[in-house]
Chain A
Amino acid sequence: EDKVVQSPLSLVVHEGDTVTLNCSYEVTNFRSLLWYKQEKKAPTFLFMLTSSGIEKKSGRLSSILDKKELFSILNITATQTGDSAVYLCAERDGGATNKLIFGTGTLLAVQP
């Protein structure tokens, strides 16, 4: 059974800190790994990673995939209170349905 595990479950930091969120996966037919940010409502898309070692970057956020060790990390530098959210990692299987398997998420709280 495919599985996605995120760590830590929750994290409290102060503004300006750098954080690293982890996502490991066990899948039979890996296709890509996605990161979403969820504040109060709908998850919003951050990154999609398909190749090992290629960093995706958007402002203070970056992510990288290691297909050999089956994990991905999401880095946030110079955190701000607006980064407080649940960060979800999901694996897209290799079928044509584009189904996603989600981890339970990491709750990040950034204190002023």
Chain B
Amino acid sequence: NAGVTQTPKFRVLKTGQSMTLLCAQDMNHEYMYWYRQDPGMGLRLIHYSVGEGTTAKGEVPDGYNVSRLKKQNFLLGLESAAPSQTSVYFCASSYASAGTPYEQYFGPGTRLTVT
């Protein structure tokens, strides 16, 4: 089991460029999440998905789009990168939660710098 994997691990973009971050999980989890982590801000939820084909906005969704075409993959897109999107991005996944709380499992992160 690889768990949750993220590609790429590092990326440097120029302002205005676009890119897609890929998250994959092999635990058959229904739910997937994208967070960003900035110094002094903790982890903040960008978008999440409760199943294949469904996505929803989190706390800080502006400037990002997501897609969940396959259950095991969750893509995060930046259409026009801005320096404010310089951050470490974490993907996470968990079992479905019909009343039962489950922990989230995190990927190793992607460090993105926008110049």
What residues make up the interface of A, taking CB atoms closer than 8 Å to B? 4, 31-32, 34, 36, 41-45, 48, 50, 88, 90, 92, 96-105
Contacts of A90 in B (CB 8 A): 43
Q: Is B62 an interface residue (CB 8 A)?
A: no
* Extra A-B contacts (19), CB below 8 Å, given A48-B103, A97-B48, A98-B104: A36-B106, A42-B90, A42-B109, A43-B106, A45-B104, A45-B105, A48-B101, A88-B42, A96-B50, A97-B50, A97-B97, A98-B31, A98-B96, A98-B97, A98-B102, A99-B48, A100-B45, A103-B42, A104-B40
Q: Contact: B56 with A100, CB < 8 Å?
A: no
Minimum CB–CB distance from B89 to chain A (whole Å) comes to 12
By size class, the interface of chain B is 20 to 34
Q: B4 — nearest CB in chain A belongs to which residue?
A: A42
Minimum CB–CB distance from B14 to chain A (whole Å) comes to 26
Q: Contact: B94 with A98, CB < 8 Å?
A: yes
Q: Is B58 an interface residue (CB 8 A)?
A: yes
12 A-B pairs in the complex with CB atoms less than 8 angstroms apart: A4-B42, A43-B90, A45-B103, A48-B101, A48-B103, A50-B101, A96-B50, A96-B98, A98-B104, A100-B33, A104-B40, A105-B42
